[in-house]
Structure 1
Amino acid sequence: MLRKDYIMNTLVKRAQRGDAEAFISLMEECRMSFRRIAFGYLRNDEDVADAIQDTILDAFEHIGSLKKAEYFRTWVMRILINNCTRTYRKNKRHVSMGEGMEEGSFDAGASDVEFRQLLLILPEDSRTIFQLYFGEQFTTKEIAEILEMKENTVKSRLHRGKEQLRESLSDKTGSVQGSGKETGIGGIRYAETFFG
C-alpha cells in the first residue's frame, strides 16, 4: 500500500470514530477533485459551492456507513456526482463543461484548462468518465462503481471518446500525432496523451 493510501485510510478510520480533524483533512485532500468534477456538471460558482457543501455534509453524516476505508474516494465521488445531478435537475438548465463559466472562476493551471477544452469535444455522457479516468486517476472499475454502470461500458465510452477526440483533432490540425506541439484548438497541447 502506498504511503498516501495508508494515510487516507487512517484518516477515514479516525473520521469514522468521530475525529473532526481527520474528516477536515479528508475534505481538504478532496477539495480540488470536488471542484473539477462539480464544474463538469454545473455552470457557476454558486451551484458548485452548494453541491460541494451538500457532499461534505452527506459524507460527514454517513461516513460511519462506509464499510471499507479504501473505498472512500469512490464513495465520496459518488455522493458528489449525485449532488451535482440533483442541483442540475433542480435548476433545469442545460449545463456543459466550460460554457458560461465566469472568468477566473476556477483556479486551474494551463494543463487543466487544456484538459477541459478537450473534454468539450466529447458528448456529455463521456465527459464525466474522462474526467474521472484522466483527471482524477480512477480505474475503470472504480468509475463503474461511482457511476453505477458496467465496467465494460466505461471502457467502451473511453475508447469511443478517444476515437472522437482523435477524429476531431485530426480534422482541425491534419494530424494529432507527431511533435507534441500546439494542436491548434485554443492552445490545447498534450492531446497525444489521450491516445496511448
Structure 2
Amino acid sequence: MSLNKMTVANRYARAMFELVDAQGQLDQTYEELTNLRQVFLDNPTLASLLSGVNLSLKEKESLLQVLKQDASQPVTNLIQMVFDYGRMDTLVAIINEFERRYDLKYKRVHADVVTAVQLDETRRNQLKANLAERLGANEVLLSEKVDPAIIGGVIVQTENQTMDGSIATQIEQVRRLLLN
C-alpha cells in the first residue's frame, strides 16, 4: 500500500522534529532545513532528477554529497533516508511540515498582508504587534504585497483565517446593503 505525500511528510517531519528537539538541536536543524528547502525551490527539477531515471546512481550520489555537505548528522541522515526510500519528491513537504511544527512550538504565525501602499517600519511593527496579540502568537512573520485596488486598509490572511479590513470591501458591503 502506497502512502500519500502528506502522510509521508508528516511521519518523517514528526520523527525528525522529536529527535532534534530531544537533542537540543531544534533551531539549528530548522535553519538547515529551510536552507535546504530553498535549494529545492531554486532548482525545481532537482527532486525529479534525484528520483528519476535520467541520472545514474553515481551521478545521483554525487548530487547527494553536495546536498549533505556541511549538514548536521540529523539532516544528513534525513537526506540519505529520503533518497534511499525513493521519496525525494516529498522532501520539501517534509520540511514544510517540520516548519509547521516549529511554528506551533514557538507560537509563530505566517501572515500574507495586502495593503494599498507600502508599509513603513513603524506601521509594519504595529501591525505585527496587533496580529500577535489578536492571534495569541509570540511572533508574526509577514509576507507583504501592495495592491492599490483595495483603496486603503489591510487584508490579512493566515493559515486558517482571513481578516479583510480593506476600504474596497467596505464599499462593496455598503453597495450591497443599498441594493437590497
Q: TM-score with structure 2 length normalisation?
A: 0.29
Hey, which of these two has a bigger chunk of strand by percent?
Answer: 2
Hey, which of these two has a bigger chunk of helix by percent?
Answer: 1
Larger Rg: 2
